[in-house]
Structure 1
Amino acid sequence: MTAPPAIAADPRSWRRAFADLLAGLRARELWALLAWQDIKQRYRRSSLGPLWITVGMAVTALALGVVNSALFGSSISTLLPSITTGLILWNFMNGCIVEGSETFIVNEGMIKQLPAPVSVYALRTVWRQALYLAHNLVVYVLVLAIFFGKLSQPYRLVDKDGALLHPGLGWGMLLAVPALMLVLLNGAWVVLLFGVVSTRFRDIPPVIQSFITMLFYATPIMWSMDQVRVMNQSSHEGFGSVAVNLLQLNPVYHFVEIVRAPLVGQQQSWTHWLVAGVVTVVGWSLAMLVLRNYRARVAYWV
């Protein structure tokens, strides 16, 4: 009697999706090495090598700090650390969004030749951005060393009456550690979700690059919410309150604040943590749903 033909297991299953993610995490030596090779390749034959990441961040932060301090009449000793920290975090998030949308497209050759979990390529992108972040944190340490005296005591980011009084640096700095871990965790689902969707629909990466600049200006990096609130208090038309409410709908703003506020001694609202937590749960749910349904098709789409 002939045995019935085996029925192929459905590739679209939660078990396979989680197995892919776990297998990718176990292959940390692979994606960590690939990410470091990406950085070495980018700065090959350069005298400073990856230190150019730090130099570029330092020059950009200094220029924006000086210009914005002159424009808004704020003290550079408090504004520059805030801008520097915001830029460091933005660079990581921007890299996860923009480069994450092309993570499978640029790895076409490896995907077709190397039998590795799909999540390996996403983790490669996230770890590369994390290495950039680590290089840029050197700039934060230098800025903190220079302006520690000012930041260690209560201060106002905006030198105007009615501006919010921030508590200054203290033990609250330790909150930056879990906050940074949460940002890294969100970077992973962003790369997975955007990467798979962009592999299927190749118009997504150009659309993301078109809107990323608008997102940058809508996030308090070069400016602060303190400035908007002060403008709201001096305005008689109520436009400032509307602007504050609209800007708070930007999820990137909340992720920036949960890390930046402890690092520069600013007052922090637990609303930021609540929004970041909700976005984390929703984002990973969507990423795992996409990974479940389309993980097996990525190799055919690239």
Structure 2
Amino acid sequence: MLSIAITDLRESLSSWRLWSLLGWIEIRQRYARSAVGPFWLTISMAVMIASIGAVYGTLFGQELREYLPFLSVGLVMWFLLAQIVNEGATVYIHSAHYIRQAATPKLLYVLQVVWRNLIILAHNFVIVIALLAIFGVKNWLVLPLFIPAFILFVLNAMWMAMIAGLLSARFRDLPQIIASLFQVAFYVTPIMYRPDSLVRFSWIVDLNPLSYLLHLVRGPLMGEVPTLLTWGVSAGMAAIGWTAAMWLTGRYLKRIPYWV
């Protein structure tokens, strides 16, 4: 089973011109005839960060110079994760016309979703860079850790999208369930509040694997070195998740055209 999935992944990666072009075209079509284009997402994200930062920063008694960068990284990275998984859940359904007409590798469409959202991330990440430039980088020595942390973050998002897309092609109610679960996870994941804020209910953060992923990418930007537990949980999730995703892909890859 794994050999089938590995072959499909290798062919998908070698077709990078196709999935990168499809992702770019979809963004251009989505914002056609718009003067600002994808930067509308950046503007809305900036307004959200400013609004939430002013309200929750006051409620939590946080200094804005500390809270705004913390909040911006959390929201921007959460938006990336949620979009990749939610769009991944419908990737085969929305690409049904391509899947039925051309014998293309199937994971190509998942790579298209990841690539498209990385382009959107590049627009939103301008906010993080601006806030770090305004309030300063706390620790330049820790900052390079963001690169391997970000790669591990994207790898985890990708296997989630792979499994969600495959199961959603078979069970059409699943995309709505996944979207609802991410709405709930938004409030139990330390995005708007610091992990140590839940004194009596710290187990909510400790048992939430998404909190480790978020801290993994937020820590280096905030001048903190992610703990070995954070690296271990994130790497373990990636190893187990990719194994499961590749097995499921190899097992049910040939059934996707019939499901969609």
Q: Deviation string for 1:247-283 (max 9, x for gaps)? A: 2211111111111011021353221111001100110
- Tell me which amino acid in the other structure corresponds to 1:223: Y
Please list the CA deviations of residues 29-57 of structure 1 after superposition, one character each: whole Å capped at 9, or x if unmatched: 11011111111111111110121122121
**Which residue of 2 is the match for residue 161 of structure 1?**
none
Distance 1:145 1:216 in 2: 27
Aligned twin of 2:95? 107
TM-score w.r.t. the length of structure 1 is: 0.84
1:5 is matched with none
Mapped to 1, the partners of 2:31 and 2:206 lie a distance apart of 38
Equivalent residue for 2:124? 136
Aligned identity (percent) is 36
Runs of 4+, deviation exceeding 4 Å: none
In 2, the alpha carbon distance for the partners of 1:207 and 1:278 equals 25
The structure that is helix-richer by fraction is 2
RMSD, aligned CA: 1.2
Q: Select 1:258's aligned residue among 213, 216, 223.
A: 216
2:90 counterpart SS class: helix
Aligned length: 260
Question: Helix, strand or coil for the counterpart of 1:120?
Answer: helix
How far 1:227 moved relative to its partner?
2.1
- Inter-partner Cα distance in structure 1 for 2:143 and 2:117: 23
Larger RCO, structure (CA 8 Å, separation 6 or more): 2
User: In the alignment, which residue of structure 2 is the partner of 1:220?
Assistant: 190
Structure 1 equivalent of residue 77 of structure 2: 89
Q: 2:68 aligns with which of 75, 80, 97?
A: 80
| Residue pairs, 1:280-299, within 5 angstroms | 280-299=238-257
* TM-score, structure 2 as length reference: 0.97
Q: What are the ranges of 5 or more consecutive residues in structure 1 without an aligned counterpart?
A: 1-12, 153-167, 233-239
Residue matched to 1:15 = 3
Unaligned 5+ segments in structure 2 are none
Structure possessing the higher radius of gyration over alpha carbons:
1
Query: CA offset at residue 170 of structure 1?
Result: 2.7
Letter paired with 1:284: W
